Structure 1
Amino acid sequence: MNMLIIYTHPNHQSLSYAFLNEVILGSKENSGIEEIQVLDLYEEGFNPILVFNEKKRRRDMHKDPDLAKYRDQLRWADKIVLVYPIWWGRPPAMLMGYIDQMFASGFAYKDTGGLLPQGLLKGKSVVCISTMKGPAHYPLVWLNNAHKALMRKALFNYVGIKKVKFFEFGSMESPRGRHTIKLNKIYRYFKTVRP
């Protein structure tokens, strides 16, 4: 199994970075994971801003040469792991800008003329690991599960990825946030996970 980890946080001293390290540590001990690639969107200097003009058309985004490297990574990956904080009830703008550009028509899905498109990324699986300041049940109770609906239904199911797992860790700025237990949970999961 090939695994692509997409890390989205500007600070390498953050708790999100600690979760990234646990994903890597566990994965390196997993005989089912053949190769790991890490894409750190901030360190990469990824440009999240969409540009459409007479030279760059939306309908051609799936073949934009500036994004070829990232398309190759997504094609290569059997499992895509996203590590990010939840800010204002959703992933950071940097990650959303990556999603806007990478999950384009002609690459991630194909319009069929019907109600739903043909997903072109079938067979892959996704794990979303997110941290937030608020309590763990905040997105479910207060936001009507908007984060999971956005990621699972509006994005991944739309492009053909049906296997999506979430780790939403709340109260992460609290001294009682049980950080060590949660970090260990991620390590153990990736040590044994299968496609």
Structure 2
Amino acid sequence: MNVLLVYAHPEPRSLNGSIKNFVVQRLQAQGHSVQVSDLYAMHWKAQIDADDAPQRDANQPFNPSADSKTAYANGQQSADIAAEQDKLRWADALILQFPLWWFSMPAILKGWVERVYAYGFAYGVGEHSDRHWGDRYGEGNMAGKRAMLIVTTGGWESHYGARGINGPIDDLLFPIHHGVLHYPGFEVLPPFLVYRSSRMDADRFTSIEAQLGQRMDQLFSTTPIAFRQQNAGDYVIPALTLRPEIAPDTTGFAAHVAA
């Protein structure tokens, strides 16, 4: 199978660098083909701007969505964006690896999403009607592919527990899991989390390798998170709210995951 690892850490000698190298080696040992987009090493341009659509009319105001749509449809995107889209088409699974910085992904990785997820490629596809509100949230061009996060954080696991000061880790990652991955159609796997990343020794890293190795071995067999599909009957269209009989006593992010 083909696996794309999008990696966002500026220091190759870091814990994240070691994890990335281990993941690549483990997947290749299992017979998978692996491509790595090392965003810092690539000097990836994080900001979306008019340069992403080089054939656009410079006399008109830049519109990120409309200009993205035109550039994608006409094959006129900047070369770096088109190359990453080709990697996503090739991949059977996507892994996003990053340190949790200020409760989210690093800016360079967010910029990868904003630029690569062009209109017509990752969003803006499918019929919009009173029965079907676009191919998204379980449908779309990434349907049939898998995705997961590998995330390191300096905080303790208890800091991200149900009553932890930082908030539950599932809630913090929901915008990425549900919005960045489930939205364009990926089957989203539970994340692999490394807590207290600054308190690492050889014995603990060996333990992490064993756990992560098992997750990589099961990349194509692990049961995905049971996010509800938008057009499968759980939501009222076009309001896009859950039907009253669906999880009636649950609100917030948890309501959008089937029990």
Shorter-normalised TM range: 0.7 to 0.9
Which stretch shows the higher mean deviation, 136-145 or 179-188? 136-145
Matches within 5 A, 1:162-181: 162-175=187-200, 178-181=204-207
Partner of 1:18: 18
What is the identity percentage for the equivalent residue pairs of Structure 1 and Structure 2?
Answer: 24
- Structure with the larger strand share: 1
Is the contact between residue 6 and residue 80 of structure 1 (CA under 8 Å) also seen in structure 2? yes
1:65 lines up with 2:63 in the alignment: no
State the alpha-carbon separation in 2 of the partners of residues 16 and 159 from structure 1. 27
Residue in 1 that maps onto 2:155: 134
Aligned match of 1:117: 134
Counting only pairs closer than 5 Å after superposition, residues 9-48 of structure 1 correspond to structure 2 as 9-31=9-31, 33=32, 35-48=33-46
Change over 3 Å in CA distance of 1:18–1:76 after alignment to 2:
same
Q: Distance in 2 between matches of 1:22 and 1:38?
A: 12
Unaligned runs of 5+ in 2: 52-56, 222-259
For the aligned residue pairs, the C-alpha RMSD in angstroms reads: 2.3
AA of the residue aligned to 1:27 = L
Report how far residue 8 of structure 1 moved.
Answer: 0.6
* Correspondent of 2:212 among 178, 186, 189: 186
Over 3 Å counting, the alpha-carbon distance change for 1:175 and 1:28 in structure 2 is closer
Report the Cα offset of residue 48 of structure 1: 0.5
- 2:167 corresponds to which of 143, 146, 152: 143
SS in 2 for 1:42: coil
Structure 1 counterpart of 2:111: 97
* Matches of 1:101 and 1:49, distance apart in 2: 8
User: Where does the alignment leave 5 or more consecutive residues of structure 1 unmatched?
Assistant: none
Q: Report the CA distance shift for 1:116/1:172 in structure 2 as closer, same or farther (over 3 A).
A: farther
Greater relative contact order structure (CA < 8 Å, 6+ sep): 1
1:137/1:72 CA distance change after superposition, 3 Å: farther
Deviates more, 1:140-149 or 1:167-176: 140-149
| CA shift digits 1:132-166 (9 cap, x unpaired) | 10012434433343332011111111111123330
Contact kept, 8 Å, 2:104 with 2:173, in 1: the verdict is no
TM-score, normalization by structure 1: 0.88
**C-alpha separation between the residues in 2 aligned to 1:29 and 1:4?**
15
What is the TM-score normalised by the length of structure 2? 0.67
Q: Shift in Å at residue 192 of structure 1?
A: 4.7
Larger Rg: 2
Answer yes or no: is the 8 Å Cα contact 2:48–2:111 preserved in 1: yes
Once the two structures are superposed, residues 7-46 of structure 1 have per-residue CA deviations (whole angstroms, 9 ceiling, x without a partner) of 1100011101111011111111113x2x111110010111
